[in-house]
Chain A
Amino acid sequence: GQQLNQSPQSMFIQEGEDVSMNCTSSSIFNTWLWYKQDPGEGPVLLIALYKAGELTSNGRLTAQFGITRKDSFLNISASIPSDVGIYFCAGQLRDYGQNFVFGPGTRLSVLP
């Protein structure tokens, strides 16, 4: 099946630092969603992207829909302890109807 790659797989940063993570594929996507999942909870939607090149912010989070339509990026500025969790990207393939494919996640740890 279709696969999404996320990098880095995990990262440790100091509180206050900025974070960048990305999601890539060899397939073309119509929509990108970014989620955060805390332990024992379901994924929570952070940002949705619908157009190539689109740049969207949600507080300290900024995400971009790659121009090639095969990738997306998520940036977190001035990280805080509550940013800890697993960040998933999900892409809706151009010819795949309403289904989304999820990446394996990026695990973020914030050190005080």
Chain B
Amino acid sequence: EAGVVQSPRYKIIEKKQPVAFWCNPISGHNTLYWYRQNLGQGPELLIRYENEEAVDDSQLPKDRFSAERLKGVDSTLKIQPAELGDSAVYLCASSLRSSAYNEQFFGPGTRLTVL
């Protein structure tokens, strides 16, 4: 079974440029998460989707960040315009919503560098 797929793996852009990250979750997983991981820290949740609905976007900086999961499968996270402080690893994770098990599986991440 394929794991969570993310692309690109690395992205270097200049500040004020737009950038987008793509995630394809594990087949059948209806819950999808986007996290940001700063150097030396644990992942921090940006947004959680249940199918195509964003059920928690309270930590998403909505002035510059946006996300979509139109068909309830793959998802895109966008930053426009990027700032120097956005340099981080952006992780996507998925899980199968269940009353018994809540295991999240992560993709390899996209390492963003803003110059």
Contact = CB atoms under 8 A, between A and B. Distances in A.
Nearest to B105: A45
Interface in A53-112: 88, 90, 92, 97-100, 102-105
Nearest to B111: A40
Sort A-B residue pairs by CB-CB distance and give the 8 closest, nearest first.
A102-B42, A42-B106, A42-B108, A43-B106, A42-B109, A102-B43, A48-B103, A88-B42
B41 A33 contact: no
How many of chain A's residues touch chain B, expressed as a range?
20 to 34
Given A42-B108, A45-B105, A105-B41, 8 more contacts: A33-B102, A35-B106, A42-B91, A42-B106, A92-B102, A98-B97, A99-B48, A100-B45
A4 B105 CA distance: 20
A44 interface: yes
A27 interface: no
Contacts of B48: 98-99
Interface residues of B, number: 28
A46 B8 CA distance: 25
Contacts of A98: 31, 48, 50, 55, 95, 97, 102
B107 interface: yes
A105 B50 CA distance: 27
